[in-house]
Structure 1
């Protein structure tokens, strides 16, 4: 239905102020830019971009002052470069990163802290240079499906085989990805109907208010379903978020603290129907923002938005523990929270892997969150009679545990690499292999993660040293799973990395079988190798 909006001159004014703030920023007039962004926020308080720009400007202002006080302080120049990059001021970033590097002592005089900072500065410089080279690149990593691939994507292959698989009563990755696709594609179809037409100095909106829920449901079921099928996808998405946020008076531009305060106030004034819709849209918009930022390589922003969403979700469960789902909303159900935790673990993991110096959590924190997710999932199995579709058990129970187990496998792999004691190394590589095997077993054999995680477990065996009978048993499981997996996952975002890794396992298996035939090794031979490991798993 069309929704007639009153003239929105304040939003137009906010856009004009934002443009002026950008101009001030590009000229290095940070205080003027900060004030201008603040004025824009007063006009359009639900515009998340304005808050982000103001925060980056504030950081730049402080960092610039620090460089004036001490021009040789490398970390101040680094913070200035980070702030400039956040506002896409990439050309001006480069001399700042170079100045930061010049402030470091010579290589032979560097401390361990200096060396870590040098790595971060070089990465910052490269990101700014890459951003200039790729300024027209899409903001999100996406699965490209040209004319030759469009029928090979997992959800299309799953759709073809659905009726053959359902009667078998056997778990298949096709069920999870197909239901994720149905949710995601329904949301995208509704999103593409959005229209915003000028009318009497304001806008006349046409659209539906359920698109973001469906799109986010698809991502929560299986994030691999994300794909972009039109040039204006992101423009439509941003319009859809704006439209739905205005309709339900959501707080997408606020932080968790303000959302909690405002939700309590609105509940007293307007009741559950108003609060339920506003909270749902706020949390789902944050989840999608987190997903897109992480996909674009912005792991800091991605992990922060997931954590904001979880902050509100866990607060809501504690604040309204006895309020029925029909009142407080599905977002506070354990199955929903669990899938957000799964995505959050992945984003936090990537942030740690990128060695963020300002990260507020540690590997130990991540491992503890993974253990908690496993415990919570096991403690709350599906209730008989719950309306679960064919892929629901995988998406809401198996996949979260699979992610958690893989995080624990990585944690122990990293611990082994850091240890200087042979006994500790042996223990952690053993634990790593065990967790990666458990991670694999959370997925059906026809899911790409099944052989992929088994391969990383095999690498842990190689690094630790394991009898051939154990390593070859893993190789056999990998070999048997590959053709089943390729039925659905021949084309996927991780196919190139996955296939390279799996091929190494198959090649190694052939070498060892030949050694057994030639009697140069036995099944009890302990094989320990390092150079065959393609990479430390991340």
Structure 2
């Protein structure tokens, strides 16, 4: 009979073969069995972590880790058993690289990997790993556009933030509701309330006792993810230790709710029916809900703090796949049993978060993230919202109505505008049909104007998308003076109300440059009309003016 070490070696070979076939889940199982037989083999831990990393489903990369299952935790025994194991340090660097807030650990791991290599006479494999680590180290240490995007705001500035300004206007906005006017302030009220509830729970979570147990509330992730569904612009950091506390909160909720920390949607779809059959909805519902909410949060943090839009898209795709499966499998199960995450409004919110990430990912790699797919998703969203029945319950929070039915349509229309705008580049190629580029521009102008009209007039998106439509209008072969001045008038009219709430938003700098440019152009055009050189019926082009 083979010894445990020999059995482990055979399992390792099986795992290597499965890994080569890209069956990472099966390979992970083989390495885990091998570890149970030979726990002192550093290679086994590194290989098992490589499976998690290859699946991009490791618990640590999802920020939903428990120590025994995360890719970094799988690697820790490898580096402890063999501190000179180069591959383990390199894989640890790669694992930490994908975790927002863990740049320092990634840098340290890559440096440790390089320090284990010989100074000279390197083998081919050693040279390859040296180049890989040096390249990755340079990438990690390079400052990204999102570095420092979310900072701890000083108290004197905190009062200027949009949600604080909106709160001080609440009585005024309530009076407007009676007249049928819904302000963007209502979305901020709701989102900020949810965000505050979630952040307060995360700030209170802590480890206790020598065993490292965790004390905290079980709904922190729910509140925080709900705030992003309502309006992600409310997200801000007022605690420099947020990520550290957040990971503890996730670990606590994952354990408490028996969430699935390895594998993606396919694994969840396979395992959750078994849990439901064995333990019922009271166990399966929180397990499923916590899992998809953690994935959703990871998508948001991977993009907003980590600057990895393609990675964020993958997280959102896992959420959407799992939710769409559950909505079909449990379509006849009451909401109270299956959970709120299966409602149209939640799925709609996840898709909206995905929109911006997909756009950025497409700009970086259009072959992998074709814009046509984004356009199709945006059209599907518009049709869905148009077909939706808005609840008539007078007790519903106005912010819920806006976040669930109004903003998703506006967001989708804006994505359509972006798609048409970018489409003009393709339409400018030599083999394009005559006028195709201008057609794309005019369609983009129309989509941006429609998006602006959907949002409340005091929302910064209303003004910003009007400005986008103006910028593109004047690029058309010729444009109507009346149309250009009408857009400018709308911008001027909405500006005071928008500034009351959104003057100091995160997009204020870009937005205000756009507003200044548009209003200056509109003022110049109006002077031409007043001077009699143009009329309201004129069509302007760089070459001629048609009366």
TM-score normalised by structure 1 residue count: 0.75
Q: Match of 2:311?
A: 301
Structure 1 contact 180–222 (Cα < 8 Å) conserved = yes
Q: CA deviation at 1:31?
A: 6.9
1:139-158 aligned within 5 A: 141-142=149-150, 145-158=153-166
Task: Between 294-303 and 45-54, report the one with greater CA deviation.
Answer: 45-54
In structure 1, distance between residues paired with 2:325 and 2:421: 34
Residue 191 of structure 1 deviates from its aligned partner by: 1.5
Is the counterpart of residue 460 in structure 1 residue 472 in structure 2?
A: yes
User: Does 2:533 correspond to 1:520?
Assistant: yes
Q: What are the residue-to-residue correspondences of 1:62-73 with 2, within 5 Å? A: none
> Residues of 1 paired with 2:184 and 2:135: CA distance?
38
The answer on whether the counterparts of 1:140 and 1:292 sit within 8 Å (CA) in structure 2 is: no
Change in Cα spacing, 1:128 to 1:460, as seen in structure 2 (3 Å) is: farther
Aligned to 1:188: 199
Equivalent-residue separation in structure 1 for 2:58 and 2:135 (angstroms): 34
> Any unmatched runs of 5+ in structure 1?
1-29, 57-80, 97-124, 531-538
Structure 2 counterpart SS, 1:253: coil
Structure-1 separation of matches of 2:372 and 2:157: 41
Q: Partners in 1 of 2:236 and 2:445 — Cα distance?
A: 32
Relative to structure 1, the CA distance from residue 425 to residue 447 in structure 2 (aligned partners, 3 Å threshold; closer, same or farther) is same
Name the residue aligned to 1:354.
Answer: 364
Choose the corresponding residue for 1:174, options 179, 182, 185.
185
**Contact residue 445 and residue 469 of structure 2 kept, 8 A:** yes
Paired position in structure 2 for 1:256: 265
Q: Quote the Cα distance in structure 1 between the aligned partners of 2:273 and 2:542.
A: 59
| Equivalent residues in 2 for 1:387-406, closer than 5 Å | 388-406=396-414
RMSD: 3.3
Separation in 1, partners of 2:423, 2:58: 45
Q: How do 1:247-396 and structure 2 match up within 5 A?
A: 247-296=256-305, 297-355=307-365, 359=368, 361-385=369-393, 388-396=396-404
The 3 A distance-change label for structure 1 pair 129 and 482 is farther
Once the 2 structures are TM-superposed, how far is the Cα of residue 285 of structure 1 from its aligned partner?
Answer: 0.7
Determine the C-alpha separation between the residues in 2 that align with 1:158 and 1:265: 47
CA–CA distance in structure 2, aligned partners of residues 257 and 386 of structure 1: 40
The corresponding residue for 1:440 is 452
Deviations 1:265-301 (A, max 9, x none): 1000000111110111111111111011111310011
Residues 95-115 of structure 1 deviation map (CA, whole Å, 9 limit, x = unaligned):
x9xxxxxxxxxxxxxxxxxxx
Aligned-pair CA distance for 1:426: 2.5
- 285-294 vs 413-422, greater mean Cα deviation: 413-422
Q: Aligned residue for 1:19?
A: none
Whether contact under 8 Å (2:420, 2:444) holds in the other structure is yes
**SS of structure 2 residue aligned to 1:196:** strand
Q: Which structure has the larger Rg?
A: 2
Give the Cα separation in 1 of the matches to 2:319 and 2:250: 16
Question: What TM-score, normalized to structure 2?
Answer: 0.74
Asked if 1:478 corresponds to 2:491, the answer is yes
Q: Following the alignment from structure 1 to structure 2, what is the Cα–Cα distance between the partners of residues 423 and 356?
A: 24
Distance in 2 between residues matched to 1:429 and 1:443, nearest whole Å: 22
Q: Is the 8 A contact 2:416 2:444 kept in 1?
A: yes
What does 1:208-247 correspond to in 2, within 5 Å? 208-247=217-256
Structure 2 distance, partners of 1:439, 1:384, is 24
- Residue in 2 that maps onto 1:504: 517
- Per the TM alignment, residue 387 of structure 1 is displaced from its structure 2 partner at its CA by 5.3
Distance between the aligned counterparts of 2:375 and 2:426, measured in 1? 16
Question: How far apart are the structure 2 equivalents of 1:318 and 1:84?
Answer: 36
SS of the equivalent of 2:474 reads: helix
Q: Any conservation in 1 of the 2:50–2:71 contact (CA below 8 Å)?
A: no
Compared CA separation, residues 224 and 84, structure 1 to 2 (3 A): closer
**Cα distance in structure 2, aligned partners of 1:366 and 1:435:** 14
**How far is the alpha carbon of 1:250 from its aligned partner?**
0.2
Q: Distance in 2 between matches of 1:189 and 1:406?
A: 34
Cα contact 2:445–2:473 (8 A) shared by 1: yes
Would the alpha carbon gap of residues 34 and 456 (structure 1) be closer, same or farther in structure 2, given more than 3 Å must change? Answer: same
Shift of residue 346 of structure 1? 1.6
Q: How many pairs does the alignment contain?
A: 442
Structure 2 distance, partners of 1:251, 1:371, is 33
Q: Deviations over 1:189-247 (max 9, x none)?
A: 11111111233xx2332111011100111111000000111121111111000000000
